[in-house]
Structure 1
Amino acid sequence: MSSSTASAPSGAAISADAAGAGAGSPAATSAPRPFEVERDAASPNRNLTPLTTRIDGQGQLEVGGIALGELARRYGTPLYVLDEATLRGTCAAYRDALAAHYPGEALALYASKANSSLAITALVASEGLGLDAVSAGELLTALDGGMAPDRIVFHGNNKSLEELDLAVQRGVTVVVDNWFDLENLAALAPTAPVNLMLRFTPGIECHTHEYIRTGHLDSKFGFDPDQLEPVLKHLAGCPWARLSGLHAHIGSQIFELQPHHDLAAVLADALALARSLGHPVTDLNVGGGLGIRYVASDDPPSIQQWVRTVAEAVVAACQARGLELPRLLCEPGRSLVATAGVTLYTVGSRKEIPGIRTYLSVDGGMSDNPRPITYQSRYTALLAERPEAEASETVTVAGKHCESGDVLLKDLALPPATSGEVLAVFATGAYNASMASNYNRIPRPATVLVGDGQADLVQRRERPEELLRYDVLPERLRPVA
């Protein structure tokens, strides 16, 4: 593993899990600070901040060669910032690790549900990756962003007839999740063979949040193991179907390697069964699930460790069964895009409850980052223009929404912050923009892509008046003039 300690300063704010509790209490001085955590240039998922993060000559935090405070003033807040170098570096890490550790063909597919946009699609396509989509919107974004149809797989446990028709017409591989998929595909009466991948649940448990475990038997995704042989026999009698792959996924934000090793044996057994029934299966898709470092105490495996574990396990499982090596597919999402993202907020009101807590409110919250209220997720943050100031108090960063649970970071050590300062929250590139909402009719933020001192707007900020564009006011309810 190639690692280096960041040349940035000793830092000021610490991750939310390391701060002391209580209103205005001093920060824990022994806890690691964001820039004191060793930087792994070869595996960005192990870092707290983007690869290009540093302190500039004015003592301010910059990413991609641009001061974050300047970005906040130029584009407004809340603002999603994506570091191009980190995105490209993570794509290269997966691509290169597959080439180094797997002796057969291999392809990493970006799980675009993590963050779907034309710009991200174009970037990952330019790095040689494929993509997986789970809706017509994600599929159209992938196609319009320049991703080749034969490098796209289309997932979903309840695909509509219209979505399936779009995928079939554009030559995208359809991941069959259930009998409903097969009924709808047959109803389309395709004249040319449809390229299919079959998803099943492998029955493997992982230690992660129950909402993001997808490989255990009690899951809405995929065929149950006892349905595998019946569905394979059924597909053998469908002249419109060409089964080219098998898929299983065990969950998300996983730090364990053993479940991925175990998955290889389950997939190899399924591969042997499919080939024995006459299916020309050439692809094994192990899904994704590798975790990232959100706070200093997180310790995920590197991309290289994960890929090596998966690759060696697939090779060993196929050799033990006398199987020709398949093309190995994986679907990184969070681990590919999360660390590249930073969200900027402007500090507003402050509420001190003596002996209990100090609330520091910002101009965003659960509408631009629903993960804390949904998954109890933790993050690392600091003041963008005073990153080296002493973190002398502990605060809870609250959002602006009309919801008591709208809290972004609990018990975070920060320097005393005043209204108007910019707060930078790290590792927000995955499942923030893609899960954002208009709760309280608050517009979604803009997104900028930064690199080499240049910032490009890749998603513009919604305007309040635009939130009314789909409303229809019946004539009978219109106010009388």
Structure 2
Amino acid sequence: MKLHGSMYVKEDTLHIGGVSCVELSKKYSTPLYVLDEKLVRENCREYIKHFKVNENNNKVAYAGKAFLPLYMCKIISEENLYLDVVSGGELYTANKAKFPMERILFHGNNKTLDEIKMGIELGVGIFVVDNLYELELIEKICKEKNKVQKIYFRITPGIEAHTHDYIKTGQVDSKFGFGLINKELYNAIEKLYRYKNVELVGLHAHIGSQIFDVKAYMEEVEVMMKLVKEIQEKYNIYLKEIDLGGGIGVYYTKEDNPKPIKEFCEAIIKMAQKVCERIGINLPKLVIEPGRSIVANAGSTLYTIGSIKDIKDVRTYVSIDGGMTDNIRPSLYHARYECSIVNKMNDKELNKVTVAGKCCESGDILITNTKIMDIKSDDILITTSTGAYGYSMASNYNKIPKPAVVSVMNGKDILICKRQSYEDMINLELNF
């Protein structure tokens, strides 16, 4: 198992942020999400530095859907990132955390009337407009409130990124954004001549997630900058910002070969400068929206081993006290992870096992056929790189409460999300 961030082994025991994983499991019970805060902050600073935020006034917006408790909003705010939200709930969380509203980008392909009103009333910086329906609602509400709202238009650039089908978004056949081949974008721009309460300041595109190939972003930059020139010449609209989305891939298993944040950032900036110079336009401010690449490797999940079922000549099932309710990704699209036993880190990995969740589903398998050290009931197992889309996609399926989350740094642990109790879980249900 690869060690990330502040992980280290001391006397056979895994530590994160200077804190023993064995002690964390005793103190907070399991399943337990553990956040390496130092690594989160380091990743934020890598983006700020290499995306030239201070030099070029570019923007880095954290994609909140990856992981967005109140405490994460605090970290992102302190590290001077913007925040990308995709729902009223994420916006509400940001507001409760006192995140600066002017640094929020509000995404979503079907924002409700209430969500749009909420965003406008709170003073969201940018609405990323996905369709004509939304554009009309924003104009209507802003007119009633005598406000002008800055917007981006989200487009589908027609780029096929090499990733899982469920997390591709930039291709022509997508539920997101205005298409180019059917003139949807141009129809939307023409409506702006009649709309006085929206201001188009930029374009947005997102080509997918868990992308390792820098070339996909080079294609995106080319498409977007040519659009900037076309809109400038055809409509006399000078776009100030271009948002290239996120999706930079991270390490989950040794089959993954992610590139450093620096390489992606520098390649994007260099390509944007090159294209703008070639086609004769000023370089707009660039925006990027990393989520997974900031928080994924900074998160881990601790579990307690329960039953062990050895089917002779077939497989050995090792069952944990969590599963698809705290990490749906393996069941959803066959995501792969690495694991280990936190108090046997120096033991040899000689046993092949399948790590199974506790849900009443045959598909609740966390890791299939992985090699691990000698394993017994009550051992503490860790899966790494669960910081993105673990807690944020957790559910109460089978009436299983959601785990707690702790942040660790400099030898200290802080509870940032309480463990859900049974009473919490049924709090909204009515008993007749």
TM-score, length basis structure 2: 0.96
In 2, Cα distance between equivalents of 1:472 and 1:280: 54
Residue 174 of structure 1 is aligned with which of 124, 127, 138?
Answer: 127
In 1, Cα distance between equivalents of 2:114 and 2:205: 25
Residue by residue over 1:392-431, the C-alpha shift from the partner in whole angstroms, topping out at 9 and shown as x without a partner, is 1100000000000000011111112111110010000000
- Root-mean-square deviation over aligned CA pairs: 1.3
Q: Secondary structure at the match of 2:135?
A: helix
Higher relative contact order (CA 8 A, sep 6+): 1
Q: Secondary structure at the match of 2:156?
A: coil
Residue 80 of structure 1 is aligned with which of 29, 33, 52?
Answer: 33
Cα drift, residue 321 of structure 1: 2.0
Residue in 2 that maps onto 1:404? 362
Answer whether contact 2:228 2:238 (CA < 8 A) is retained.
Answer: no
Moved more, 172-181 or 186-195: 186-195
Residue in 2 that maps onto 1:258? 215
Residue in 1 that maps onto 2:89? 137
Residue in 2 that maps onto 1:55? 9
Cα drift, residue 449 of structure 1: 0.4
Q: What residue identity is the alignment partner of 2:416?
A: V
Q: Secondary structure at the match of 2:405?
A: strand
Matched ranges for 1:36-435 at <5 A: 48-56=2-10, 58-99=11-52, 104-172=56-124, 173-188=126-141, 189=143, 190-225=145-180, 226-276=183-233, 277-435=235-393
In 2, Cα distance between equivalents of 1:179 and 1:213: 22
Q: Secondary structure at the match of 2:423?
A: helix
In 2, Cα distance between equivalents of 1:259 and 1:390: 40
Moved more, 104-113 or 364-373: 104-113
Structure 1: segments with no counterpart, 5+ residues: 1-33, 35-47, 475-481
Residue by residue over 1:226-281, the C-alpha shift from the partner in whole angstroms, topping out at 9 and shown as x without a partner, is 21222111123210011111100100000111110010111112212333323342
Q: Secondary structure at the match of 2:305?
A: strand
Cα drift, residue 301 of structure 1: 1.3
In 1, Cα distance between equivalents of 2:23 and 2:365: 26
Q: What residue identity is the alignment partner of 2:214?
A: L
Answer whether contact 2:317 2:354 (CA < 8 A) is retained.
Answer: yes
Residue by residue over 1:423-472, the C-alpha shift from the partner in whole angstroms, topping out at 9 and shown as x without a partner, is 01000000010000000000000000000010000000000122211112
Cα drift, residue 174 of structure 1: 0.6
Answer whether contact 2:323 2:366 (CA < 8 A) is retained.
Answer: yes
Q: What residue identity is the alignment partner of 2:84?
A: D
Cα drift, residue 183 of structure 1: 2.3
Q: Secondary structure at the match of 2:109?
A: coil
In 2, Cα distance between equivalents of 1:391 and 1:434: 31
Answer whether contact 1:168 1:194 (CA < 8 A) is retained.
Answer: yes
Report the number of matched residues.
426
Q: What residue identity is the alignment partner of 1:254?
A: I
Q: Secondary structure at the match of 2:26?
A: helix
Q: What residue identity is the alignment partner of 1:328?
A: L
Give the % identical residues: 39
Answer whether contact 1:104 1:325 (CA < 8 A) is retained.
Answer: no
Cα drift, residue 391 of structure 1: 1.2
Answer whether contact 1:236 1:279 (CA < 8 A) is retained.
Answer: no
Cα drift, residue 103 of structure 1: 6.2
Residue in 2 that maps onto 1:41? none
In 2, Cα distance between equivalents of 1:436 and 1:278: 47
TM-score, length basis structure 1: 0.87
Residue 463 of structure 1 is aligned with which of 410, 414, 421?
Answer: 421
Answer whether contact 1:243 1:280 (CA < 8 A) is retained.
Answer: no
Q: Secondary structure at the match of 2:52?
A: helix
In 2, Cα distance between equivalents of 1:281 and 1:327: 9
Answer whether contact 2:139 2:196 (CA < 8 A) is retained.
Answer: no
